[in-house]
Homo-oligomer: A and B are copies of this chain.
Amino acid sequence: MANRRAVGNPLALAVLANLLFEPMHPYELGRRLKETGKDRNIRYNRGSLYMVVEQLRKAGFIAEQETVRDTARPERTVYALTDAGRDEMYDWMRELVSRPEHEYPKFGVALSLLGVLDPTEAVDLLRLRGIALESEAAGVRAGIEATKKMGVLWVFLVEEEYRLAQLDAEIRFVTSLIDGLGAPEYVRAWQEAFNEGKKKWESSSDQGER
């Protein structure tokens, strides 16, 4: 019941969306994804592309329309969206927009294991992250401005705005975490807990072989 969708890779959704208005061959699809910068939000590589195209075909969401052989390039197969494909793509979009899905960001992993690091070191590391985040955010901001100047409708930038909102939130979070970890009562508590754990381990490993 986890994944009742026949093809689950987001790349497939992009394929369906791009075939909405005109049939295309896979390479062209890939080219457009990169050109329009969608590969910043959708993990893209050619291998996966051919894979999802094949999966979509098997599922009946796209159909081989013709095979062009203009003796220059290798033979290219052009695919067109089927009715089922259009339905699937709308359904999928609706779900993605309306239902938040649980995700597993890497930083969440780090935070959930943060206890293993000495708090003073953690603070240093977090400062580094803060700097990196700032510079990323600046980059995104600049990109948005540049694109806007080219007269692109803001809806086509909405994903960058989202990214920026997330970055800003994370920057604030990191800043406040740095403060929290610096508090001397925490540092002391951590050191005690750590030594506690260590002692336990040492005494218990005495009686095991190794």
Q: What residues make up the interface of A, taking CB atoms closer than 8 Å to B?
A: 10, 13-14, 17, 20-23, 38, 40-43, 65-66, 80, 89-90, 93-94, 96-101, 103-117, 121-122, 125-126, 128-129, 132-133, 136, 153-156, 158-159, 161-163, 165-166, 168-170, 172-173, 177, 180-181, 186, 189-190, 193, 197-198, 200-201, 204-205, 208-210
Contacts and interface: CB of A to CB of B under 8 A. Distances in A.
16 contacts: A10-B104, A22-B201, A41-B104, A42-B109, A65-B208, A66-B209, A89-B116, A97-B129, A98-B128, A99-B132, A101-B107, A114-B158, A114-B159, A155-B186, A165-B169, A165-B173
Nearest to A14: B113
Chain A at the B interface: SS class: helix
A186 B34 CA distance: 26
B189 A104 contact: no
Given A23-B208, A42-B104, A165-B173, A158 B111 contact: yes
Given A21-B201, A101-B107, 12 more contacts: A20-B116, A20-B201, A41-B109, A43-B104, A96-B106, A96-B109, A97-B125, A103-B105, A105-B166, A108-B159, A153-B193, A155-B186
Contacts of A98: 125-126, 128-129, 132
B110 A122 contact: no
